[in-house]
Amino acid sequence: MIQKQKGCTDIYGKEAKIWKFIDSIIDMTMEKYNYNYIRTPIIEATELFHRGIGSTTDIVTKETYDFVDRGGRDITLRPEGTAGVVRSFIENKMYGDPSLPVKVYYNGTMYRYERPQSGRDRELTQFGMEILGSDDPLSDAEIISLAVNIYKMLGLKEIKVNINSLGDNESRKKYREELIKYFKPHINELCEDCKERLEKNPLRILDCKVDADKDILKNAPKTLDFLNEKSRDRFEKVQDYLDVLEIKYEINPNIVRGLDYYNHTVFEIEAKVEGFGSNNVLGGGGRYNGLCKELGGPDTPCIGFASGIGRLVTALELENVKLPIVEDIDLFLLYVNEEEKKYALYLAQELRLAGFIVDTEYNNRTLKAQFKQADRLNAKYIAVLNSEDLNNNEITIKNNKTKEEDIISLDMIVYYLDEKLNTIIDDVNDFSYEDHECDGNHSCGGNCHCHKHEEEK
RNA sequence: GCGCCAUUGGUGAAGUGGUUAACACGCUGGUUUGUGGCACCAGUAUGCAAGAGUUCGAUCCUCUUAUGACGCCCCA
């Protein structure tokens, strides 16, 4: 059997509906904020990521899918979205647009060659947005609030926003030096990983799980103490604007982010629900004022955010958020003989084009089995086509929940269903997931209303 | 890249170095000449991730590979 590649996922069935719903919320919200959809290639020149993300970061040195194509070009599957967007911004001379800033969002697959684990796949889907061409703290606040609001629109409640400022490049550099100076005499008190980090990426020591409780970490110099006046004012302004937007946040000096291109505002949004693995960060972002110039474009201040959709789906599940997913169909047509089959085929088409969700039998099952099929597909109404009725220009339609039947004229079927289904929609609002059908394995813990469990009660 | 555990039918899974691999759900057919969901009866894995080895004999032991779960590094 040919299997899917390691760390990749097939998304189908109900889960696919959840993903599509999330996509629709993203599209809708982005539209309100006036961000335009941007679609850039999944393959980019390897150099883009080396120059953009930083050739010393792990994500570039050991986590990319690299290959040489038939023309001898060095290609990399994008590990994140920002570099490609900025490349496109430069290549298409969007910086010349008098209506700067350019506000864009993307939603697509990224690739990282890593060992899969909870909340981490090799192929991941991220959505994200960028504001290119504004240094106003208002854009920082807007990006953070937009991220939060998308989560809220989806129904997530247990989220936490952590923000920090790395300051401008001057502040950031100075801080890095101070941090190394501070930790060096205490190197033996640090864990093995942190000893490595000291030279490579000292900021990440602050985020270490092993050493987290040690005094040496608690007393370490904070990024915020090293901000110059301008950077500090800027950060305060961001907080000021977040307060205006009534976005709750915490200042967490340990948020440093992994990619080299960040400066000033950085932030992460984490899920606070029980049951999440160690990878509970839903999304993160920050300001990257130097990236555009680094990639050969004009010096353009930018800020962005990206979020993993897979983790988002997990968070929604763990929070038990009820999404308005349509899982039932309006009408299922049953038939036995060829004449009835043809009419089912015809009627299904007519009703589908009239706007109803209609399905019928595809495998010539017995009538009994067709009833079961209708139940499996959650048909609200069923109709057993009967040659005799059809010849009389009639059809019997049964409400599959109440079992009430009506014999109606074929000419009236659209009108009939329209009226009936509107009333059903009212019922759906009162529908509780407690009413789900038991899958037979009692995995529901007896909370359902299936026959077996009702008897037990 | 490192570590740890796992991989049995459509599904959830039990199980053993030795004839026919439990049980449940599901599915198919029948009891019921075209109106089911209940009940009863029958059927439903030539195979226990793949390959190699040990053995008289392996799904069960060993090794390799693949994949999955979780953790580390790192990160969304």
* Per-residue pLDDT tens digits for A398-428: 988 888 888 889 888 999 998 888 754 444 4
Same fold flag, A13-168+228-318 and A330-423: no
pLDDT of residue A349: 93
pLDDT exceeds 50 at position A442 = no
Which nucleotide is the nearest neighbour of A371, by CA and C1'? Answer: B36
Hey, is A47 helix, strand or coil? helix
Q: How far is CA A142 from the centre of its chain?
A: 19
Which nucleotide is the nearest neighbour of A125, by CA and C1'? Answer: B76
Which nucleotide is the nearest neighbour of A5, by CA and C1'? Answer: B67
Quick one: which residue's CA is nearest to B73's C1'? A193
Which nucleotide is the nearest neighbour of A370, by CA and C1'? Answer: B36
Element (H, E) at A311: helix A309-318
pLDDT of residue A107: 97
Q: How large a percentage of chain A has pLDDT more than 70? A: 89
Q: Which residues contact A229 (CB under 8 A, 6 or more apart)?
A: none
ipTM summary value: 0.80
The pLDDT tens digits of the residues spanning A354-367 come to 999 999 988 778 88
Distance from residue A1 (CA) to nucleotide B59 (C1'), in Å?
Answer: 19
Distance from residue A19 (CA) to nucleotide B5 (C1'), in Å?
Answer: 31
pLDDT of residue A373: 84
Average pLDDT over residues A215-229: 81
Return mean pLDDT, chain A.
Answer: 84
Assigned token pair, A383: 């109709």
Distance from residue A430 (CA) to nucleotide B28 (C1'), in Å?
Answer: 37
CATH code linked to domain A330-423: 3.40.50.800
Nucleotides of B under 7 A from a protein CB: 1-3, 11-12, 24-30, 34-38, 66-76
pLDDT exceeds 70 at position A255 = yes
The pLDDT tens digits of the residues spanning A295-338 come to 999 999 999 999 999 999 999 988 888 888 888 889 999 988 88
pLDDT of residue A201: 75
- pLDDT band at residue A124 under the 50/70/90 scheme: very high
Distance from residue A90 (CA) to nucleotide B3 (C1'), in Å?
Answer: 44
**Using an 8 Å Cβ cutoff, are A235 and A223 in contact?**
no
Which nucleotide is the nearest neighbour of A201, by CA and C1'? Answer: B74
pLDDT of residue A351: 93
Distance from residue A225 (CA) to nucleotide B76 (C1'), in Å?
Answer: 28
Task: Estimate the crossing angle of helix A137-154 against helix A229-244, to 10 degrees.
Answer: 40
- pLDDT band at residue A451 under the 50/70/90 scheme: very low
Which string of b and e fits A23-56 if b means at least 16 CB within 10 Å?
eebbeebbeeeebeebebeebbebebbbbbbbee
Quick one: which residue's CA is nearest to B67's C1'? A6
Higher pLDDT, A372 or A437: A372
**In 3D, which of A429, A428, A416 has the Cα closest to residue A378?**
A428
Average pLDDT over residues A63-88: 92
pLDDT exceeds 70 at position A1 = no
CA distance to A90, A142, A144, A259, per residue, from A266 (Å): 23, 13, 10, 11
The pLDDT tens digits of the residues spanning A280-292 come to 899 999 999 989 9
Is the pTM value of this prediction over 0.90?
Answer: no
Which nucleotide is the nearest neighbour of A118, by CA and C1'? Answer: B70
Q: How far apart are CA A307 and CA A291, in angstroms?
A: 20
HSE toward the beta carbon, residue A41, CA cutoff 13 A: 10
Distance from residue A2 (CA) to nucleotide B47 (C1'), in Å?
Answer: 20
Distance from residue A98 (CA) to nucleotide B46 (C1'), in Å?
Answer: 74
Distance from residue A337 (CA) to nucleotide B26 (C1'), in Å?
Answer: 27
Distance from residue A368 (CA) to nucleotide B31 (C1'), in Å?
Answer: 14
pLDDT of residue A423: 54
The pLDDT tens digits of the residues spanning A258-284 come to 677 788 999 999 998 877 877 889 999
Strand-by-strand arrangement of the A102-111 sheet: A36-37, A102-111, A123-132, A302-308, A281-287, A263-271, A159-165, A250-251
Which nucleotide is the nearest neighbour of A277, by CA and C1'? Answer: B70
pLDDT of residue A192: 74
pLDDT of residue A420: 85
pLDDT exceeds 80 at position A20 = yes
Quick one: which residue's CA is nearest to B32's C1'? A368
Distance from residue A1 (CA) to nucleotide B21 (C1'), in Å?
Answer: 23
Q: How large a percentage of chain A has pLDDT more than 90? A: 43
Quick one: which residue's CA is nearest to B2's C1'? A115
Distance from residue A117 (CA) to nucleotide B48 (C1'), in Å?
Answer: 27
The CATH label, of 3.30.930.10, 3.40.50.720, 3.60.10.10, 3.20.20.70, for the domain at A13-168+228-318 is: 3.30.930.10
Exposed / middle / buried, residue A217 (Cβ in 10 Å: 0-12, 13-18, 19+): buried
pLDDT exceeds 80 at position A9 = yes
CA distance to A74, A171, A299, per residue, from A114 (Å): 20, 33, 33
Higher pLDDT, A175 or A83: A83
Residue carrying the six token digits 């469990």: A453
- pLDDT band at residue A153 under the 50/70/90 scheme: very high
pLDDT of residue A62: 73
Which nucleotide is the nearest neighbour of A376, by CA and C1'? Answer: B37
Which nucleotide is the nearest neighbour of A117, by CA and C1'? Answer: B70
Element (H, E) at A105: strand A102-111
Strand-by-strand arrangement of the A65-68 sheet: A43-45, A74-77, A65-68
pLDDT exceeds 70 at position A443 = no
pLDDT of residue A363: 79
| Residue ranges of domains in chain A | 13-168+228-318, 330-423
The pLDDT tens digits of the residues spanning A163-204 come to 999 888 888 888 888 888 888 888 777 777 777 777 777 777
